[in-house]
Chains A and B, each alone.
Chain A
Amino acid sequence: MNGFSAFVRKEATEIVRTWRIWVLPGMLLMFALTGPLLAKYTPEIIGAVGGSQAAAILKAIPKPTYLDSYAQWAKNLTQIVLFAVIIIYGGLISGERKSGTAVLVLTKPVSRTAFVVAKALVHSVFLAVAVTVGTLVTWGGTALVFGKAAGGPLWSSAMAWLAFGVLFIAIMTLLSSLLGSQAGAAGIGLGVFALISIAGLWEPLATYSPVGLANAPMVLAAGKESAILWPVVTSLALSCVLVALAAWAFRTKEL
């Protein structure tokens, strides 16, 4: 076992042994369990508490389908879960600098590049596992509640979002290498998200760059077509570049 693999193991164990295991997976599991039920019964709940006017409106809109459950999942991923990723990973690198643990690790045979790459890698895998499990639960729950649940729209939507989520882990890795403050990095991360969402409105950019992933999960979850090959490929390539930049920025820092 060399320094890199020992550090990867530490990072993975840290997820399981600290608050990290509860926050993202807990959030995803809660959305996965409640999403299908909310999609199915929200109209009935509104009808029950909203009186005759609400009942009239509800008659005019179609009955919910399994695609509404998928839309719920995609909306939670693109909004709430992404925000959580940005805030949680604002201190991915700076947290270890602040607590002094980086000093003990980096005076041993672990390069700063290995330190940064290991963190980005482990947390990307963690996000992938958590989102996959959450999507599986959503899929099963939707099938139970609606009796029908085609896999294509849900999985293509979730995987497109995952590429976007990994991009944001890379962005936060870079920001937390550059900035000492978790709140500062998270603030800038949210700003980047806002910019990407606005840029996604311009179609040529959305077709050929990662910004297309801001809206693609919602489109795919609705069962519609969305060309995501370029956005996904460019997003993963950009993630690698951002992590490389983060490693370079961290190498130039004094600890």
Chain B
Amino acid sequence: MSAAVEIRRLTKTYGHKRALDRVDLQVEEGSIFGFLGPNGAGKTTTLRILTGLARPTKGTVRVLGHDVATADNAVRADIGFLPDVPGFYEWMTAEEFLHFAGGLFGIGRKVLDERTGVLLELAGLTGVTTRIGGYSRGMKQRLGVAQALINAPRLLMLDEPTSALDPMGRKEVLDMLQSLRGRTTVFFSTHILADVERICDTVAILDRGRVVVQAPIDELKARYGAEKVVIEVGEGADELAEAIGRMEWATKVERDTNGTISVTVSDAGVASREVPAMVAARKLPLLRMEAGEMGLEEVFVQLVGGGQQ
């Protein structure tokens, strides 16, 4: 499989501020790639460089096999892009804007009419004849997704596409992105973990300008899932949880109502030896002990949590 996006040691500085620091990233063609990070991590800067709106300070960036530094109209013809806050000509209607956007790609009238109809339907804007200036932020965001698809792009790049949407709008956009799987490479940035967990096959987590991790989402959860231990005892769960909480290797202890204790551990090996010993010393019935699966949210917090404090 070839790479739709290939970033090597990308650094971007603004004066003394380093927005991106030696970022390496590879997005396989056909994948749905979630670019996750807290606000200010450098996601928008990366997307601006990928779309040629900004230039790298150092490093190389290749999009669909072309270096973005020399990318011309031919590369842009295969890309769809939605910025975080899309700016429209407010005197146009949604249909006029889609026709205008299609015209910039040189799409013929017949095909453009068909696509405009389909995309207006998709954006829930069929029959809306008011000017874009009167739209809500959600309507603009949905139109933004529609305009990014007008050229049936090989690579669709979206910056926080769901952040301004209500739950129904979010679901519709995510369903739509999911329907593109295998046909178009989707690269989208977000700080909403649930969105990534729901539709992405690969994820990269960016924190303070550096890629903390990049992996297929299942692998990532499994890798960090090993760092969590779930224990179920027949009785004495409260006292056991308290004792575990005092251990050096236990970074977080959570109690469920059914007697289950979830422990996030810094050393799974030590925990697997000491937990049974602690249970035996208290003569408690051990019903279950297993490696738990960590949700993406926990992986995210664990990886970038320190930076947020």
A254–B19 CA distance with the chains assembled, in angstroms:
14
Neighbouring A residues of B89 by C-beta, 8 Å: 10, 14, 101
B53 to chain A: which residues have CB within 8 Å? 103, 106-107, 254-255
A3 lies within 8 A of chain B by Cβ: yes
Binary per-residue interface labels of chain A (99-130) against chain B in the complex, 1 for a CB within 8 Å, 0 otherwise: 11111111111110000000000000000000
> What's the Cα separation between A206 and B28 when bound, in Å?
63
How distant is B49 from chain A, measured CB to nearest CB, in Å?
Answer: 9
A-B interface, 6 closest residue pairs, ranked by CB to CB distance from nearest: A100-B87, A6-B103, A109-B73, A108-B104, A254-B54, A107-B81
Do the beta carbons of B100 and A10 come within 8 Å of each other?
yes
| CB–CB A254/B55 < 8 A | yes
A contact set with B: CB distance below 8 Å: 1-3, 5-7, 9-10, 14, 17-18, 99-111, 254-255
Residue B86 lies at the interface, judged by CB distance under 8 Å to chain A = yes
Contact between B106 and A107 (Cβ–Cβ < 8 Å)?
no
Most buried by A among B48, B81, B89, B91: B89
Complex A-B: 19 CB contacts under 8 Å:
A3-B105, A6-B103, A10-B89, A14-B89, A99-B87, A100-B87, A101-B87, A102-B87, A103-B87, A104-B101, A104-B147, A106-B53, A108-B77, A108-B151, A109-B74, A109-B104, A109-B106, A111-B73, A254-B53
**B83 located at the interface, meaning its Cβ lies under 8 Å from any Cβ of chain A in the complex:** yes
* CB < 8 Å A-B pair total: 74
Provided the pairs A104-B101, A107-B51, A107-B76 are in contact, do residues A17 and B91 lie with their beta carbons within 8 angstroms? Answer: yes
| Minimum CB–CB distance for A108 against chain B, Å | 4
Residue in contact with A109 in the complex, picked from B51, B76, B83, B88, CB distance below 8 Å: B76
Chain B, residue nearest A18 (CB): B91
The answer to whether A109 touches B105, judged by C-beta atoms less than 8 angstroms apart, is: yes
Within 8 Å by CB of B106, from A3, A10, A105, lies: A3
Question: How far does the Cβ of B10 sit from chain A's closest Cβ, in whole Å?
Answer: 15
Query: Is there an interface contact between A107 and B79, defined as CB atoms closer than 8 Å?
Result: yes
Q: Which residues of chain B are within 8 angstroms of A10 by Cβ–Cβ distance? A: 89, 100
From B86, B104, B106, give the contact of A100 (CB < 8 A): B86
For residue B105, give the distance in angstroms from its CB to the closest CB of chain A.
6
Residue B292 CB within 8 A of the other chain: no
Residues of B within 8 A of A106 (CB): 52-53
A105/B83 contact (C-beta < 8 A), A18-B91, A111-B73, A255-B48 known: no
Decide yes or no whether B85 CB sits under 8 A from chain A.
yes
**Is B81 a contact partner of A9 (Cβ separation < 8 A)?**
no
Given contacts A100-B83, A110-B73, contact A105 B104 (CB under 8 A): yes
User: Chain B 66-108 against A: per-residue CB contact (8 Å), 1 yes, 0 no?
Assistant: 0000001110110101010111110100000000110111100
Report A21 CB to chain B, min CB distance, Å.
Answer: 11
> B142: shortest Cβ distance to chain A, in Å?
14
Interface pair A104/B88, CB less than 8 Å apart? yes
Closest B-chain residue to A6, C-beta based? B103
| In the complex, chain A residues whose CB is within 8 Å of the CB of B55 | 254
Q: Which residue of B lies closest to A107 (CB)?
A: B81
Other 8 A-B pairs with CB < 8 A, given A107-B76, A254-B53: A6-B106, A7-B104, A100-B87, A101-B88, A103-B83, A109-B76, A109-B106, A110-B73
Query: CB-nearest residue of chain B relative to A252?
Result: B55
Cβ proximity bits B255-277 to A, threshold 8 Å, 1 near / 0 not? 00000000000000000000000
With a CB–CB cut-off of 8 A, which chain B residues contact A9?
103
CB <8 Å contact, A109 and B54: no
What chain B residues lie within 8 Å of A104 (beta carbons)?
Answer: 81, 83, 86-88, 101, 147
The contact of B73 among A3, A18, A100, by CB within 8 Å, is A3
In the complex, A18 Cα to B52 Cα: how many Å?
30
Task: Determine whether the beta carbon of B73 is less than 8 Å from that of A6.
Answer: no
Q: Report yes or no: B106 in contact with A1, Cβ–Cβ below 8 A.
A: yes
In the complex, what residues of B have CB within 8 A of residue A100's CB? 83, 85-87
- Contact check, A2 vs B88: say whether CB atoms are below 8 A apart: no
CB-CB under 8 A from A17, the residues of chain B are: 91
Q: How far is the CB of B80 from chain A (nearest CB, A)?
A: 9
**Residues of chain A lying within 8 A (CB to CB) of residue B52:** 106-107
Distance between Cα atoms of A18 and B132 in the complex (Å): 13
Expressed in whole angstroms, the minimum distance between the Cβ of A91 and any Cβ of chain B is 14
B54 pairs with A255, CB closer than 8 A: yes
- The answer for the CA separation of A7 and B104 in the assembled complex, in Å, is 7
Identify the closest chain B residue to A108 (Cβ).
B104
Q: Roughly how many angstroms separate A104 CA and B87 CA in the complex, as a whole number?
A: 7
Q: Judging by beta carbons under 8 Å apart, are B73 and A1 in contact?
A: no
| A109→B55 CA distance, assembly (Å) | 18
Tell me which of A6, A102, A255 contacts B100 (CB under 8 A): A6
Q: What's the Cα separation between A9 and B74 when bound, in Å?
A: 22
- The one of A1, A2, A14, A108 that contacts B101, using a Cβ cutoff of 8 Å: A108
Cα–Cα, bound, A54→B73 (Å): 69
Q: Which residues of A contact B81 (CB under 8 A)?
A: 104, 107
Closest beta carbon of chain B to A32's beta carbon, Å: 27
A108→B72 CA distance, assembly (Å) = 10
Q: Are B91 and A14 in touch, CB under 8 angstroms?
A: yes
CA distance A255 to B47 in the complex (A): 12
